[in-house]
Structure 1
Amino acid sequence: MTLIINGEEQDVAAETLADLLLALDYEGEWLATAVNGELVHREDRAAFPLGAFDRIEILSPMQGG
């Protein structure tokens, strides 16, 4: 299925947001995720279905100063 992930179209075989994060090797409790502009909490990702051309934003904290 084609998704727009952080502004780029990608073809990914994932049915839920949790599946997508696993497929893209995102790990950690500090990720922030949004689908079509709506925040999706960590505990909701496994049950959050994805549809073609959904816009997914995945943010992880960066160190620096």
Structure 2
Amino acid sequence: MKITLNGVEREIAESRLDQALQELGYRDGTIATAVNGLFIPKTQRLEIVLSEGDRVEVVAPMQGG
């Protein structure tokens, strides 16, 4: 299915958010996720089923100053 990941259209096989994130290479890092503009806590990612055309945002925290 086609989704938009951080503004870039991507083709993925997995429909559950947690599995899609693994497919996209986000395995063990600390990240924040949103689907169609709604924040999705890590504990709820396995409950979210993506649909064709969904917008997924993945943000990793930055350190520094």
Q: Which runs of 5+ in 1 are unaligned?
A: none
**Post-superposition shift, 1:29?**
6.0
Unpaired runs of at least 5, structure 2: none
Number of the residue aligned with 2:17? 17
Return the TM-score normalized by structure 2. Answer: 0.90
TM-score by length of 1: 0.90
When the two chains are superposed, the root-mean-square deviation of aligned CA atoms in Å is 1.3
- Count how many residue pairs are aligned between Structure 1 and Structure 2: 65
Q: In structure 2, what is the Cα distance between the partners aligned to 1:23 and 1:34?
A: 17
- For 1:34 and 1:43, the matched residues in 2 are separated by 13
Secondary structure of the 2:25 match is coil
Percent of aligned positions that are identical: 38
C-alpha deviation, 1:60, in angstroms? 0.6
Task: Tell me the CA shift for residue 62 of structure 1.
Answer: 1.9
